[in-house]
C-alpha cells in the first residue's frame, strides 16, 4: 500500500504554457477555438486562459526572437503538442481553419495535425476513447 500523500507536498498541474511572439493574439485564437472566456489582461507578456469546466490553465508567454516548431522537420521539433478531442472532425476542421489554424497533415483517418497562428502543432482528434 502506498504511503499517504502529505497535503501541499505533491504538485498538481496548474497550467500549460506556450511560448509565442504575441500572448494576447495566441490566447485569443485558443479562446475562440475552445470557446473559453477571454480574460481582461494588462500584461503584454503573459495571458492565462481558464477552462470553464475546471482543470489546468492554458497560458501564453512572450518570448523575444520566438522561432516556431518546424513540424515534422527535426531541426526545430514540436517539443509537445495539444490533442483536442472532437466528435465531428470535418466540421471542427473547417472551424479551426476559419479561426486561423494551418493544416499540417490530414492523412490519418481519425485525427488531423494543425499549426496554431504562432506555429505550435496541435491535433483535432476524433479517436474512440478506447484507442480504436
Query: Which tens digits make up the pLDDT trace of 17-30?
Result: 999 999 999 999 99
Average pLDDT over residues 42-63: 94
Average pLDDT over residues 69-95: 87
- Quick check: pTM over 0.95? no
pLDDT confidence band for 72 (50 / 70 / 90): confident
Q: Is residue 97 predicted with pLDDT exceeding 90?
A: yes
- What domains are there in the chain, each with its CATH number? 1-66 (3.30.720.120), 67-132 (3.10.180.10)
CA dist list (Å): 72 to 30, 38, 55, 80, 115: 22, 31, 29, 12, 11
Query: Which tens digits make up the pLDDT trace of 99-132?
Result: 999 999 999 889 999 999 999 999 999 886 444 4
Between 23-34 and 89-99, two packed helices, what is the crossing angle to 10 degrees?
Answer: 150
CA dist list (Å): 91 to 13, 77, 95, 126: 31, 28, 6, 11
SS (H, E, C) 90-112: HHHHHHHHHHCCEEEECCCCCEE
Dist CA 64 CA 37 (whole Å):
27
Amino acid at each position: 500500500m502506498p504511503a499517504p500523500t502529505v497535503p501541499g507536498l505533491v504538485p498538481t498541474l496548474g497550467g500549460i504554457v506556450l511560448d509565442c511572439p504575441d500572448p494576447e493574439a495566441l490566447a485569443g485564437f485558443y479562446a475562440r477555438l475552445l470557446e473559453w472566456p477571454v480574460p481582461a489582461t494588462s500584461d503584454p507578456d503573459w495571458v492565462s486562459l481558464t477552462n470553464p469546466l475546471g482543470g489546468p490553465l492554458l497560458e501564453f508567454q512572450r518570448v523575444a526572437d520566438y522561432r516556431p516548431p518546424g513540424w515534422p522537420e527535426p531541426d526545430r521539433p514540436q517539443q509537445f503538442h495539444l490533442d483536442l478531442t472532437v466528435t465531428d472532425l470535418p466540421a471542427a476542421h473547417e472551424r479551426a481553419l476559419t479561426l486561423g489554424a494551418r493544416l499540417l497533415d490530414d492523412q490519418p483517418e481519425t485525427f488531423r495535425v494543425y499549426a496554431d497562428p504562432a506555429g505550435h502543432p496541435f491535433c483535432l482528434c476524433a479517436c474512440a476513447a478506447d484507442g480504436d
